[in-house]
Amino acid sequence: MQITSDMLAEFIKVSSDTIEKHDTEVTELDKTLGDGDHVINIRRGLGFLVEQSDEISQLEWADALKKMGMTCMSKIGGASGSLIGTFFVAMGKDATGKEMNPVTFAAAYNAAVEAMKARGKSDAGEKTMLDTLIPVANYLVENSATLDQAALLAGVKETAIKGMESTKAMHATKGRSSFLGERSVGHIDAGARSTQLMICAIVEAIEAKL
Protein backbone atom coordinates (compact mmCIF):
# COMPACT_ATOMS: atom_id res chain seq x y z
CA MET A 1 0.00 0.00 0.00
CA GLN A 2 1.18 3.50 -0.85
CA ILE A 3 1.19 5.87 2.14
CA THR A 4 0.32 9.33 0.88
CA SER A 5 0.45 12.77 2.48
CA ASP A 6 -3.34 13.06 2.29
CA MET A 7 -3.40 10.53 5.15
CA LEU A 8 -1.66 13.05 7.43
CA ALA A 9 -4.96 14.42 8.75
CA GLU A 10 -5.83 10.97 10.05
CA PHE A 11 -2.33 10.45 11.51
CA ILE A 12 -2.60 13.77 13.36
CA LYS A 13 -6.06 12.79 14.63
CA VAL A 14 -4.99 9.37 15.95
CA SER A 15 -1.92 10.94 17.60
CA SER A 16 -4.13 13.46 19.34
CA ASP A 17 -6.58 10.74 20.41
CA THR A 18 -3.92 8.54 21.97
CA ILE A 19 -2.42 11.46 23.92
CA GLU A 20 -5.89 12.31 25.28
CA LYS A 21 -6.47 8.66 26.19
CA HIS A 22 -3.18 8.50 28.12
CA ASP A 23 -3.26 12.06 29.47
CA THR A 24 -3.16 11.13 33.17
CA GLU A 25 -0.46 8.52 32.79
CA VAL A 26 1.90 10.73 30.73
CA THR A 27 1.28 13.74 32.98
CA GLU A 28 2.21 11.63 36.01
CA LEU A 29 5.45 10.59 34.30
CA ASP A 30 6.39 14.22 33.63
CA LYS A 31 5.41 15.17 37.19
CA THR A 32 7.74 12.49 38.52
CA LEU A 33 10.78 13.44 36.42
CA GLY A 34 9.95 16.97 35.24
CA ASP A 35 7.39 19.72 35.75
CA GLY A 36 4.20 17.97 34.62
CA ASP A 37 3.44 20.06 31.55
CA HIS A 38 4.40 17.61 28.81
CA VAL A 39 0.84 16.69 27.82
CA ILE A 40 -0.15 20.37 27.85
CA ASN A 41 2.73 21.13 25.48
CA ILE A 42 2.02 18.22 23.13
CA ARG A 43 -1.71 18.92 23.20
CA ARG A 44 -1.15 22.54 22.23
CA GLY A 45 0.93 21.50 19.23
CA LEU A 46 -1.46 18.78 18.16
CA GLY A 47 -4.40 21.18 18.53
CA PHE A 48 -2.85 23.53 15.98
CA LEU A 49 -1.97 20.61 13.71
CA VAL A 50 -5.57 19.34 13.88
CA GLU A 51 -6.79 22.82 12.90
CA GLN A 52 -4.37 22.88 9.95
CA SER A 53 -4.79 19.24 9.02
CA ASP A 54 -6.98 19.76 5.92
CA GLU A 55 -4.44 22.21 4.56
CA ILE A 56 -1.49 19.97 5.52
CA SER A 57 -3.10 16.96 3.83
CA GLN A 58 -3.28 18.80 0.54
CA LEU A 59 0.47 19.46 0.42
CA GLU A 60 3.21 17.23 -0.96
CA TRP A 61 5.09 15.26 1.72
CA ALA A 62 8.04 17.63 1.96
CA ASP A 63 5.94 20.78 2.30
CA ALA A 64 3.47 19.12 4.66
CA LEU A 65 6.26 17.99 6.99
CA LYS A 66 7.96 21.40 6.91
CA LYS A 67 4.68 23.13 7.72
CA MET A 68 4.04 20.74 10.61
CA GLY A 69 7.53 21.43 11.92
CA MET A 70 7.12 25.19 11.76
CA THR A 71 3.83 24.92 13.63
CA CYS A 72 5.38 22.75 16.35
CA MET A 73 8.33 25.13 16.72
CA SER A 74 6.19 28.21 17.06
CA LYS A 75 3.26 26.82 19.06
CA ILE A 76 4.54 24.15 21.47
CA GLY A 77 6.27 25.37 24.60
CA GLY A 78 8.93 23.58 26.61
CA ALA A 79 11.97 21.68 25.48
CA SER A 80 9.81 19.47 23.33
CA GLY A 81 8.57 22.26 21.01
CA SER A 82 11.83 23.10 19.33
CA LEU A 83 12.92 19.45 19.33
CA ILE A 84 9.77 18.13 17.66
CA GLY A 85 9.66 21.13 15.31
CA THR A 86 13.26 20.48 14.27
CA PHE A 87 12.37 16.83 13.69
CA PHE A 88 9.61 17.55 11.18
CA VAL A 89 11.40 20.41 9.38
CA ALA A 90 14.47 18.19 8.89
CA MET A 91 12.30 15.31 7.72
CA GLY A 92 10.63 17.62 5.18
CA LYS A 93 14.00 18.87 3.96
CA ASP A 94 15.26 15.34 3.41
CA ALA A 95 12.03 14.36 1.66
CA THR A 96 12.23 17.27 -0.79
CA GLY A 97 12.13 16.06 -4.37
CA LYS A 98 11.80 12.40 -3.38
CA GLU A 99 8.94 10.03 -3.93
CA MET A 100 7.94 8.56 -0.56
CA ASN A 101 8.36 4.81 -0.19
CA PRO A 102 9.60 2.75 2.79
CA VAL A 103 13.25 3.37 1.90
CA THR A 104 12.99 7.14 1.35
CA PHE A 105 10.75 7.40 4.41
CA ALA A 106 13.37 5.61 6.51
CA ALA A 107 16.09 7.98 5.24
CA ALA A 108 13.97 11.08 5.94
CA TYR A 109 13.01 9.81 9.40
CA ASN A 110 16.66 9.09 10.17
CA ALA A 111 17.67 12.59 9.04
CA ALA A 112 14.98 13.98 11.35
CA VAL A 113 16.33 12.03 14.32
CA GLU A 114 19.88 13.21 13.56
CA ALA A 115 18.65 16.83 13.48
CA MET A 116 16.89 16.39 16.82
CA LYS A 117 20.06 14.92 18.33
CA ALA A 118 22.02 17.97 17.16
CA ARG A 119 19.34 20.42 18.35
CA GLY A 120 19.09 18.84 21.81
CA LYS A 121 22.82 18.03 22.04
CA SER A 122 21.68 14.59 23.08
CA ASP A 123 21.96 10.98 22.07
CA ALA A 124 20.68 7.51 22.88
CA GLY A 125 20.81 6.47 26.54
CA GLU A 126 20.06 9.89 28.04
CA LYS A 127 16.47 9.05 29.01
CA THR A 128 14.58 11.19 26.49
CA MET A 129 12.19 10.79 23.58
CA LEU A 130 15.29 9.97 21.52
CA ASP A 131 15.37 6.57 23.22
CA THR A 132 12.12 5.78 21.40
CA LEU A 133 13.03 7.58 18.16
CA ILE A 134 16.63 6.35 17.64
CA PRO A 135 15.94 2.58 17.81
CA VAL A 136 13.02 3.06 15.39
CA ALA A 137 15.30 4.99 12.99
CA ASN A 138 17.93 2.24 13.13
CA TYR A 139 15.28 -0.42 12.63
CA LEU A 140 13.77 1.38 9.63
CA VAL A 141 17.13 2.00 7.96
CA GLU A 142 18.09 -1.67 8.43
CA ASN A 143 14.80 -3.22 7.34
CA SER A 144 12.87 -0.86 5.04
CA ALA A 145 14.36 -2.30 1.85
CA THR A 146 13.80 -5.95 2.71
CA LEU A 147 10.76 -6.53 4.91
CA ASP A 148 7.21 -6.50 3.58
CA GLN A 149 4.99 -3.70 4.85
CA ALA A 150 3.11 -5.71 7.48
CA ALA A 151 6.29 -7.09 9.02
CA LEU A 152 8.00 -3.70 8.88
CA LEU A 153 5.07 -2.02 10.67
CA ALA A 154 4.89 -4.69 13.37
CA GLY A 155 8.61 -4.28 13.97
CA VAL A 156 8.29 -0.50 14.28
CA LYS A 157 5.75 -0.88 17.09
CA GLU A 158 7.81 -3.49 18.91
CA THR A 159 10.97 -1.37 18.61
CA ALA A 160 9.22 1.79 19.84
CA ILE A 161 7.81 -0.02 22.88
CA LYS A 162 11.17 -1.56 23.75
CA GLY A 163 12.85 1.83 23.38
CA MET A 164 10.28 3.54 25.61
CA GLU A 165 10.63 0.81 28.26
CA SER A 166 14.42 1.06 28.15
CA THR A 167 14.25 4.58 29.60
CA LYS A 168 13.08 3.18 32.94
CA ALA A 169 16.54 1.91 33.88
CA MET A 170 18.35 4.97 32.55
CA HIS A 171 19.93 7.78 34.52
CA ALA A 172 18.76 11.09 33.01
CA THR A 173 21.49 13.39 31.72
CA LYS A 174 19.42 15.82 29.59
CA GLY A 175 16.42 18.04 30.24
CA ARG A 176 14.69 18.70 33.56
CA SER A 177 14.87 15.07 34.68
CA SER A 178 18.68 15.34 34.78
CA PHE A 179 18.25 17.53 37.90
CA LEU A 180 17.15 14.37 39.72
CA GLY A 181 20.37 12.54 38.89
CA GLU A 182 20.31 8.96 40.23
CA ARG A 183 16.75 9.45 41.49
CA SER A 184 15.56 9.52 37.88
CA VAL A 185 16.29 5.78 37.63
CA GLY A 186 13.19 3.57 37.86
CA HIS A 187 10.78 5.83 35.97
CA ILE A 188 9.86 5.95 32.29
CA ASP A 189 10.53 9.26 30.52
CA ALA A 190 7.35 11.16 29.56
CA GLY A 191 8.65 12.15 26.13
CA ALA A 192 9.71 8.58 25.34
CA ARG A 193 6.21 7.38 26.27
CA SER A 194 4.30 10.10 24.35
CA THR A 195 6.47 9.52 21.28
CA GLN A 196 5.92 5.74 21.45
CA LEU A 197 2.17 6.21 21.85
CA MET A 198 1.96 8.41 18.76
CA ILE A 199 4.18 6.12 16.67
CA CYS A 200 2.05 3.09 17.61
CA ALA A 201 -1.22 4.94 16.91
CA ILE A 202 -0.01 5.96 13.44
CA VAL A 203 1.23 2.45 12.66
CA GLU A 204 -2.13 1.02 13.73
CA ALA A 205 -3.95 3.49 11.48
CA ILE A 206 -1.81 2.27 8.57
CA GLU A 207 -2.30 -1.40 9.51
CA ALA A 208 -6.07 -0.87 9.44
CA LYS A 209 -5.76 0.02 5.75
CA LEU A 210 -3.66 -3.01 4.72
CB 15 within 8 A of CB 196: no
CB 201 within 8 A of CB 14: yes
Which chain residues interact with ligand ADP by CB under 6 A? 30, 34-35, 37-38, 41, 78-80, 83, 120, 122, 128-130, 174-176, 189-192
Part in contact with Mg ion (CB under 5 A); list of ranges 4-12, 27-35, 109-117, 162-170:
27-35
Cβ 39 to ligand ADP shortest distance, Å: 8
Part in contact with Mg ion (CB under 5 A); list of ranges 3-11, 25-33, 67-75, 125-133:
25-33
Count of CB atoms within 10 A of residue 198's CB? 22
Rounded to the nearest 10 degrees, the angle between the axes of helix 23-33 and helix 8-21 is 70
Cβ 35 to Mg ion shortest distance, Å: 4
Rounded to the nearest 10 degrees, the angle between the axes of helix 102-120 and helix 130-143 is 150
Nearer to Mg ion, 83 or 113 (CB): 83
- Can residue 191 be called a binding residue for Mg ion (CB under 5 A)? no
